[in-house]
Amino acid sequence: MNFLLKQSAYYYEPNPTLYLTILGFISIFLLLKLTRRNYKPNNNKNLPPSPPKLPFIGNLHQFGTLPHRSFHELSKKHGPLMFLQLGQTPAIVVSSVEVAEEIIKKHDVAFSNKPQTTSGKIILYGCSDVVFAPYGEEWRQKRKICVLELLSLKRVKSFKYIREEEVMELVDIIRARKGFSINISELIIATSNNIVSRCVLGQKYDNPDGNSSFGELGRKMMRELAAFSVGDFFPLLGWLDFLTGQIQEFKATFHALDCFYDKVLEEHRRMIKKGNDDDKKDFVDLLLQVQEDGVHHDFHLSNDNLKAILMDVFAGGGDTTSTLLEWTFAELIKNPKIMKKVQEEVRNVVGYKQKIDENDVNKMEYMKCVMKEILRLHPPAPLLIPRETLSDVKLKGYDIPSKTKVYLNAWTIQRDPEIWNNPEEFIPERFEKSQIDFMGQHLELIPFGFGRRGCAGISFAIASTEHILANLLYWFDWKLPNNNDDDDVGVTKMQHIDMCEIYGLTVCKKVPLHLQPKLYNHMGK
C-alpha cells in the first residue's frame, strides 16, 4: 500500500510536528482537561456541517500536509461551508462561489481581519506588515502607501526597463547553456527576485545564474509563515514549539532577513544624504520619505514597519512570479500541443524583432489564456491568506462566531465541476471566448483573493510573469533532459513531470524543474 501511495503525484508525507503534537496530547491529558470548556464554546450555535472530531484535538488530524487538498476531500462530504474545530481554534472552510459571493456582498468587513500567527509575529515584527496586519486604519494607511508608491498601474509600467534588462540577461545565460540541462526553477527564482529587488530596493541581490540563497530564503519565509505551530491552536501549549525547534527556525529566518533589511535601509539613508536623483528613487527611498513626512502628521512608520512591508513586497512579489512560471512550464512540457500553439502565437506576434515589448505581450491572447488556466489549476496560494472574523456573522443561515479562522479554498472553487468542464485538465482554450478574469470580480477565478483584503500586487506580478514567459517561449524550444524523441513525436504524447507540491503561503513544485533549451532560429539561418 505504501508503495502505491508513493507513486501518486500527490503523495502526502507525514508531518512530524503534527504527529508529535498529537502524541504529546496523550501525556498532557490533565492540562487539556483543565481548559476543556475552551474546546466547546459554540454548543448553542447553529454551526455549519463538520467532520467527526476527536477529543481535544478536534479536526487537527484532518489538516494534512497539503491542507487545500485535505479540505477539498472533506468538502465533498460535508459541503461548501464546513466548520472545523482545530484544537481551541474554531475555523470554517469556504469551497464554493455561492458562499464567497455572500461574504463579499454582505460581510466583507466582518471577514477582513487576519489571525495573528506564531510565525507572523516573529518574522513580521508582530504582524506590523500589510498582509498579516489586523484590519483597521493603520492597515489601510500602509496598504495605500504600497499601492500608490509601488503597485499602481503607472508605477508598474515605469518598471518596464527593469523587466526587459533582467529578462534579457536570463536569455543570455540560457543561450550560453543551450544543449545542456538547466535548472529552470533556479533561474526563474533568481530573475523574479532580481526584478523585485531592483524595483523595490534599487539593486539586485540574487546572482544572475541562480546561485544565490536570497531567493530561497524568501521561499523559506513563505513556507514558515504557513507552518503548523502548536501555539496557534493551543495557546497554553505554545512551549511545545520550542521543543520541536520551530521557534528557533522562525527566529533564524527573521534574523537573516532583519540584518539584510537593516543594511538596505542604512545604504539608502546614506545615499539620500548624498542627494540621489529623484527620477531614480526606488520603493525604499519612497518609504523613507513617507516615514520622514509622517513625523509631522498623525501616521508614522517605524523602522520595523518599513522592514515588515519590504518583506511582504519582496517575498510576495518574487515568489508569486517564480511559482507561476514553474507550474506554467511544467504544464506546457506535459502538454506539447499547447506548448507548440502558444509558441507559434508568440513568434508570430514578435516576428524577427530582437526585443519583445509590452505592445507585443498585449497581443498574445492565447498566452494570456494559458496564464489564466495556470492560475486556475495552480493558484499560488490555494487557500489564499487565512482570514479571521471580526464579529459574529450569519452566513448561509449558519452562525459563524467572532474570532473564527476562515480558509477560502480557491483551489476547490477553481476545480468545481459545476462551473468548469473537465476541471482537472489543462485546457487554456476554455478562456478564449470568456470574459472571466482573475482581478477578484469573478469569484469562480480568485487566485489573488477578493474584497478589501485581496492582493494589491496583481498587476506587478502578472507584468513580470508574462514578460518572462513570452521571452522564454520566443527564444527557445524546450524538452525534458535525455528526451531523444523527434520534435513531432514529442507533440503527440504526454510527458512525465513530477507535480508534487510543497505547502506554504505559496505552493511551489517540490522537485525543481530541469529542462533542456534549444535556441530557436528566428531568421531561418
Q: What was the pLDDT predicted at 11?
A: 36
The arithmetic mean of pLDDT across residues 436-444, rounded, is: 92
pLDDT digits (tens, 9 = 90+) for 232-263: 999 999 999 999 999 999 999 999 999 989 99
Around Cβ 489, how many Cβ atoms within 10 Å?
11
What are φ and ψ of residue 484, in 5° steps? -95, 10
CA distances from 35 to 24, 234, 260, 513 (A): 16, 10, 42, 48
- In whole angstroms, what is the distance from residue 156 CA to residue 458 CA? 10
Q: What was the pLDDT predicted at 45?
A: 85
Angle at 433 between CA 428 and CA 438, to 5 degrees: 65
User: What is the DSSP code string of 225-267?
Assistant: TT---HHHH-GGGTTHHHHTTHHHHHHHHHHHHHHHHHHHHHH
Q: What was the pLDDT predicted at 319?
A: 84
Three cell numbers, residue 423: 476541471
What pLDDT band is residue 7 in, cutting at 50, 70 and 90? Answer: very low
Q: What was the pLDDT predicted at 426?
A: 98
- In whole angstroms, what is the distance from residue 222 CA to residue 127 CA? 14
Write the CB contacts of 114 (distance below 8 Å, at least 6 apart in sequence). 127, 131, 132, 133, 134, 135, 385, 386, 387, 388, 453
The arithmetic mean of pLDDT across residues 419-430, rounded, is: 97
What pLDDT band is residue 24 in, cutting at 50, 70 and 90? Answer: low
Q: What was the pLDDT predicted at 473?
A: 98
- In whole angstroms, what is the distance from residue 300 CA to residue 292 CA? 8
Q: Which helix (H) or strand (E) holds 94?
A: strand 89-94
> 147-161, 202-216, 325-339, 487-501 — which one is most confidently predicted on average?
325-339
CATH number of 2-519: 1.10.630.10
CA distances from 416 to 111, 344, 426 (A): 23, 31, 14
Q: Fill in the amino acid letter for 173.
A: I
Domain boundaries, the chain: 2-519
Evaluate whether 427 touches 370 at the Cβ level (below 8 Å). Answer: no
Residue 487 has pLDDT above 70, yes or no: no
Evaluate whether 164 touches 470 at the Cβ level (below 8 Å). Answer: no
- In whole angstroms, what is the distance from residue 57 CA to residue 18 CA? 11
Q: What was the pLDDT predicted at 363?
A: 96
Three cell numbers, residue 449: 483573493
Write the CB contacts of 150 (distance below 8 Å, at least 6 apart in sequence). 199, 200, 283, 286, 313, 460
Q: What was the pLDDT predicted at 33?
A: 52
With a pLDDT cut of 90, the percent of the chain lying above it is 64
Q: Are strands 405-408 and 89-94 parallel, antiparallel or unpaired?
A: parallel
Q: Fill in the amino acid letter for 429.
A: E
pLDDT digits (tens, 9 = 90+) for 331-359: 999 999 999 999 999 999 999 898 999 89
Q: What was the pLDDT predicted at 206?
A: 60
Q: What was the pLDDT predicted at 37?
A: 45
Q: What was the pLDDT predicted at 16?
A: 57
Write the CB contacts of 507 (distance below 8 Å, at least 6 apart in sequence). 66, 68, 323, 378, 380, 381, 382, 501
- In whole angstroms, what is the distance from residue 58 CA to residue 264 CA? 45
Q: What was the pLDDT predicted at 22?
A: 59
pLDDT digits (tens, 9 = 90+) for 372-383: 999 999 999 999
Three cell numbers, residue 429: 482554450
pLDDT digits (tens, 9 = 90+) for 55-104: 989 999 998 899 999 999 999 999 999 999 999 999 999 999 999 999 99
Using a 10 angstrom Cβ sphere, with 0-12 exposed, 13-18 middle and 19 or more buried, the burial of residue 271 is: middle
Report CA dihedral (370, 375, 376, 377) to the nearest 10 degrees. Answer: 90
174-195 as b/e: b if 16+ CB within 10 A: beeeeeeebebbbbbbbbbbbb
Evaluate whether 369 touches 432 at the Cβ level (below 8 Å). Answer: yes
- In whole angstroms, what is the distance from residue 233 CA to residue 228 CA? 9
- In whole angstroms, what is the distance from residue 196 CA to residue 329 CA? 21
What are φ and ψ of residue 90, in 5° steps? -75, 140
Q: What was the pLDDT predicted at 30?
A: 45
Residue 17 has pLDDT above 80, yes or no: no
End-to-end CA distance of the chain: give it in Å, rounded. Answer: 55
Q: What was the pLDDT predicted at 214?
A: 65
Evaluate whether 20 touches 60 at the Cβ level (below 8 Å). Answer: no
Evaluate whether 518 touches 190 at the Cβ level (below 8 Å). Answer: no
What pLDDT band is residue 276 in, cutting at 50, 70 and 90? Answer: low
CA distances from 350 to 167, 357, 359 (A): 16, 9, 10
- In whole angstroms, what is the distance from residue 46 CA to residue 34 CA? 26
- In whole angstroms, what is the distance from residue 270 CA to residue 149 CA? 21
Residue 108 has pLDDT above 90, yes or no: yes
Evaluate whether 465 touches 321 at the Cβ level (below 8 Å). Answer: yes
SS3 519: strand
